[in-house]
Chains A and B, each alone.
Chain A
């Protein structure tokens, strides 16, 4: 009889119930964290973040904004953009000769 009372007390003990629930929550959280850490999703997100950071840092390195806008700055900017874009040569980067049968040994 005394034993049954103890059990009832334990079952109705909010600390015990909360403790069990917290334990389950911690275990589930740990498993989720572990799954995420080992997943490809994390690697992909980190790679994207690294690329974004790199782009933001490199993007305007050699071209600072002037305090006052004038024609000289606009000319300088035009040259900078033109040089950047023309630095990529399609014939080199996407050379059609590389894809011919002879180039591929077919």
Chain B
């Protein structure tokens, strides 16, 4: 038979279990974000050092060690500027896709074939997706170059810098693709749409 005292004890035990459970869950040996990031950073820098075959002489190492911290300050500024640029571009590209989506609705309402506008919208979305991937890689590369202990690991810092330069080129290429879609595909799609609208109006006028 369970006494009242036992019931209260059990209730208290359950309550204390409920209180300690979330804390205990947090204390589980889950992957520590900090050490994971450091591992990932080391892996990326090692891969870059191998890729670009970075091998510095003692004189070059000394030069990097002497100046790298001011270089990292500059890279940090570029990283901050890139974050702002990313937001501004996302706003612009989202606006373009919204406008094209609105146009498609108007075209459908007018009972005109919207396939060219749909194709254009998909081209934009794909190009923007590529740009987003490229700029994220660029941000990671910048972060790596800022986070690496450049005085202790000058070759890794050099490798990180090469990584930044390479990923910047990918961002510019992705941006150029968006510009190309705007310059060429957009004009073609809109000219086709105008032709279709004219044809539609002529048919309606005759009827």
Contacts and interface: CB of A to CB of B under 8 A. Distances in A.
Nearest to B25: A35
A99 B168 contact: yes
B190 A77 contact: yes
Main secondary structure of the interface of A (DSSP, over half): helix
Chain B interface residue number, banded: 35 or more
Interface string A16-57: 100010011001100110010000000000000001001100
A51 to B, nearest CB: 8
A103 B75 CA distance: 10
Contact of B75 (A74, A90, A104): A104
B63 A90 contact: no
A73 to B, nearest CB: 8
Contacts of B81: 93
B142 to A, nearest CB: 10
Interface residues of A, number: 49
Interface string A75-90: 1011011101111101
Interface string B73-104: 01100100110010111111011101110110
A28 B81 CA distance: 43
A85 B182 contact: yes
A47 to B, nearest CB: 11
B159 interface: no
B92 A88 contact: yes
Nearest to A88: B89
Contacts of B176: 90
Given A4-B1, A85-B96, A24 B179 contact: no
Contact of B197 (A8, A71, A87, A98): A71
A89 B22 CA distance: 49
Contacts of B122: none
A54 B88 CA distance: 11
Interface in B22-81: 22, 63-64, 67-68, 70-71, 74-75, 78, 81
A21 to B, nearest CB: 9
15 contacts: A4-B1, A11-B2, A23-B15, A31-B18, A31-B19, A31-B22, A51-B87, A69-B106, A81-B96, A81-B99, A85-B182, A88-B92, A93-B85, A105-B71, A106-B64
Shortest 6 CB-CB contacts between residues of A and residues of B: A104-B71, A59-B95, A69-B106, A59-B98, A85-B182, A93-B85
